[in-house]
């Protein structure tokens, strides 16, 4: 990995951290988008698409509803895809390693997200006290502070994660148990994960079973026609 | 509509700015005031129109910086309502201040429930599934691009329309929330999402059987689907369940081992 690539991934980490919940929520932080972005940066866009789809299906069932604590899907997608592509460059196709990295990154990112929310409480208290004193610009300054801190945390956690991924990939490079699952196998696993996660998250009633069967027929037809073969 | 004349006409110009600012409603999200700071900051352009006096404005801003939480895309409806009632407060309408506080409190739950159901429980999984199925089928970046465009057309569109709808409805905002659009949109998203989930299953089965695996490949695929289903991929499912990440990790490791052993490359 070149310095430029590492810097681009760290910058991407900052952007997707903010998009995930503090700003806009345009969903550019979802693995299905982050995967191709990481792939493009690392010079393997097609692999990025595949891994992005795999991680999206893995994290599909997680919803930021109520007071739920949920894994950091952006960091999971970013570091998982990076681990997969860097592993492939090392001559292996490390499916289990990449998924393990994504699972660990999701958990670690959630901890960092909680830290940011705790720090935000101090920022909010400072804003309230300044507005009480008559300052109208305090909320804007508080928001700028929180966003800057979020971007820094996003960049920092990505940089730390990349260091772990690089070290882990070097360790695994010589191990025959590191992978090796090819793209074909991964597509099958990701398709199964997407189907099951979708059916469970969206629910299966009588009418929806018909939709599911019709969809399955369409999926089979795609393979027959060679579109996805 | 009559009330939309006069000061409201000037306020209408600020709606877009409020909607734009509502994209940062969660910027200072914290465990005490939740979205409160973002909410107050977002309606500030409207407050500036209603309260030209800086002292009065700061006072009303402070009143709107309290605890608030809703689905981030639907928070803009509450912002519209708040501005409408702020206007009434400025006009000296009896009880408007109390009505605003009560409404914002009530809206928290309703906007959270409606928005979470539409956006998080139905819309995002459905669009995500469609994008996953298309990406696995084509290997192209286009599904991801279309996913982002489609999501933002819906979500940011609702944000923009929300300020207008909340402002027009004011205290009668319940009729916006009772609009059948919300339930219909969530139902449609779920049906489309299930179709995409089916496409994923069909594609996976086809790839497993026709991609050189034959009946054994099909059996492995059925075993994977069965394992994932039993492992429990739904957060909050009854009884102990594996997290989706761990379940997928197990599948990846299992497939890797099968692939590895079939290559005859034991360590």
- State how far residue A1 is from chain B, nearest Cα, in angstroms: 22
Digit-coded pLDDT (tens) for B22-34? 999 999 999 999 9
Instruction: Decide if B73 and A25 are in contact by the 8 Å CB cutoff.
Output: yes
Instruction: Decide if A35 and B40 are in contact by the 8 Å CB cutoff.
Output: no
Cα(A1)–Cα(A165) distance, integer angstroms:
11
Chain A's closest residue to B34, CA to CA, is: A121
First-to-last alpha carbon distance for chain B, in angstroms, is: 77
The sign of the torsion formed by the CA atoms of A152, B34, A58, B158 equals negative
Q: Do A77 and A31 meet the contact criterion of CB atoms below 8 Å apart?
A: yes
- A181: chain B residues, CB-CB within 8 Å: 252, 255-256, 259
pLDDT of B141 above 70: yes
The answer to whether A219 contacts chain B (CB < 8 Å) is yes
Instruction: Decide if A134 and B58 are in contact by the 8 Å CB cutoff.
Output: yes
- State how far residue B1 is from chain A, nearest Cα, in angstroms: 31
Of residues B263 and B29, more confidence is placed in B29
Q: Do B136 and A50 meet the contact criterion of CB atoms below 8 Å apart?
A: yes
Residues 60 to 119 of A: which have CB under 8 A from any B CB?
60-66, 68, 70-71, 76, 95-96, 98-100, 102-103, 106, 117-118
Query: What average pLDDT does range B118-122 have in this prediction?
Result: 93
pLDDT grade for B218, boundaries at 50, 70 and 90? confident
Compute the residue count for chain B. Answer: 267
Cα(B126)–Cα(B189) distance, integer angstroms:
6
The answer to whether A148 contacts chain B (CB < 8 Å) is no
The answer to whether A42 contacts chain B (CB < 8 Å) is no
What pLDDT score was predicted for residue A126?
97
pLDDT of A174 above 80: no
Percentage of residues in chain A having pLDDT higher than 70: 92
Q: How are the residues of chain A apportioned to helix, strand and coil, as percentages rounded to the nearest 5? A: 75, 0, 25
What pLDDT score was predicted for residue B259?
66
Compute and round to an integer the Cα radius of gyration of chain A: 20
What pLDDT score was predicted for residue A160?
97
Cα(B250)–Cα(A95) distance, integer angstroms:
10
Q: Do B146 and B136 meet the contact criterion of CB atoms below 8 Å apart?
A: no
Q: What is the ipTM of this complex?
A: 0.93
- State how far residue A166 is from chain B, nearest Cα, in angstroms: 20
Residues 183 to 242 of B: which have CB under 8 A from any A CB?
190-191, 193-208, 210-212, 217, 221, 224-225, 228-229, 232-235, 237
Burial grade of A228 (CB within 10 A; 0-12, 13-18, 19 or more) = buried
Cα(B132)–Cα(A11) distance, integer angstroms:
25
- A221: chain B residues, CB-CB within 8 Å: 202
C-alpha distances in Å from residue A100, one per residue of A50, A137, A212: 17, 45, 30
Closest CA to A24 of B67, B144, B20: B20
Query: What average pLDDT does range A204-226 have in this prediction?
Result: 88
Q: How many CB atoms lie within 10 A of CB A86?
A: 24
Chain A's closest residue to B108, CA to CA, is: A66
- State how far residue B204 is from chain A, nearest Cα, in angstroms: 5
- A146: chain B residues, CB-CB within 8 Å: 27-28
Cα(B40)–Cα(A140) distance, integer angstroms:
10
- State how far residue B198 is from chain A, nearest Cα, in angstroms: 4
Instruction: Decide if B30 and A118 are in contact by the 8 Å CB cutoff.
Output: yes
Residues 127 to 146 of B: which have CB under 8 A from any A CB?
128-129, 131-133, 135-141, 143-144
The answer to whether A131 contacts chain B (CB < 8 Å) is yes
The sign of the torsion formed by the CA atoms of A15, A16, A17, A23 equals positive
Nearest to A23 among B24, B65, B244 (CB): B24
pLDDT of B192 above 50: yes
CB pairs A-B closer than 8 Å: 389
What pLDDT score was predicted for residue B234?
46
pLDDT of B64 above 90: yes
Tokens of A95: 């499916």
- B54: chain A residues, CB-CB within 8 Å: 134, 136
The answer to whether A126 contacts chain B (CB < 8 Å) is no
What pLDDT score was predicted for residue B1?
45
pLDDT of A208 above 90: no
φ and ψ at B30, to 5 degrees? -150, 170
């Amino acid at each position: 990995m070149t310095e430029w690539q590492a810097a681009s991934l760290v910058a991407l980490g900052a952007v997707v951290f903010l998009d995930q919940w503090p700003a806009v929520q345009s969903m550019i932080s979802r693995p299905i988008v982050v995967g191709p972005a990481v792939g493009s940066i690392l010079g393997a866009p097609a692999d990025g698409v595949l891994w992005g789809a795999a991680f999206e299906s893995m994290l599909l069932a997680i919803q930021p509803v109520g007071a739920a604590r949920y894994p950091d899907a952006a960091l999971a997608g970013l570091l998982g895809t990076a681990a997969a592509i860097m592993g492939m460059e090392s001559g292996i196709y490390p499916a289990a390693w990449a998924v393990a990295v994504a699972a660990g990154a999701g958990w670690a990112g959630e901890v960092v997200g909680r830290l940011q929310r705790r720090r935000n409480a101090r920022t909010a208290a400072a804003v309230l006290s300044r507005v009480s004193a008559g300052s109208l610009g305090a909320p804007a300054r508080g928001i700028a502070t929180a966003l800057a801190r979020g971007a820094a945390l996003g960049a920092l956690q990505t940089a730390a994660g990349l260091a772990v991924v690089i070290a882990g990939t070097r360790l695994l490079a010589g191990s025959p148990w590191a992978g090796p699952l090819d793209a074909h196998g991964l597509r099958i696993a990701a398709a199964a994960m997407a189907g099951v996660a979708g059916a469970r998250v969206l629910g299966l009633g009588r009418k929806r079973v018909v939709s599911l069967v019709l969809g399955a027929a369409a999926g089979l037809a795609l393979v027959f026609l060679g579109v996805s073969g | 509509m009559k009330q939309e004349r006069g000061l409201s006409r000037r306020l209408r110009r600020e709606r877009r700015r409020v909607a734009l600012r509502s994209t940062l409603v969660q910027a200072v999200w914290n465990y005490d005031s939740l979205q409160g700071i973002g909410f107050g900051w977002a309606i500030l352009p409207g407050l500036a129109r209603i309260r030209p006096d800086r002292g009065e404005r700061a006072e009303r801003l402070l009143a709107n910086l309290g605890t608030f939480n809703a689905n981030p895309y639907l928070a803009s409806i509450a912002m519209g309502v708040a501005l409408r009632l702020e206007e009434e407060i400025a006009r000296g309408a009896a009880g408007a201040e109390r009505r605003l506080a009560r409404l914002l409190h009530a809206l928290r739950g309703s906007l959270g429930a409606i928005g979470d159901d539409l956006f998080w429980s139905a819309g995002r999984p459905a669009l995500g599934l469609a994008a996953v199925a298309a990406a696995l089928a084509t290997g192209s970046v286009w599904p991801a691009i279309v996913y982002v465009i489609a999501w933002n057309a819906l979500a940011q569109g609702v944000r923009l329309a929300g300020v207008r709808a909340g402002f027009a409805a004011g205290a009668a905002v319940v009729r916006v929330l009772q609009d059948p659009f919300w339930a219909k949109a969530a139902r449609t998203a779920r049906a489309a999402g299930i179709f995409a989930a089916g496409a994923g299953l069909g594609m996976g089965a086809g790839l497993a059987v026709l991609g050189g695996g034959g009946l054994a490949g099909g059996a492995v695929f059925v075993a994977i689907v069965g394992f994932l289903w039993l492992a429990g991929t739904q957060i909050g499912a009854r009884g102990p369940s594996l997290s989706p990440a761990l379940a997928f990790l197990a599948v990846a490791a299992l497939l890797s081992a099968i692939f590895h052993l079939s290559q005859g490359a034991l360590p």
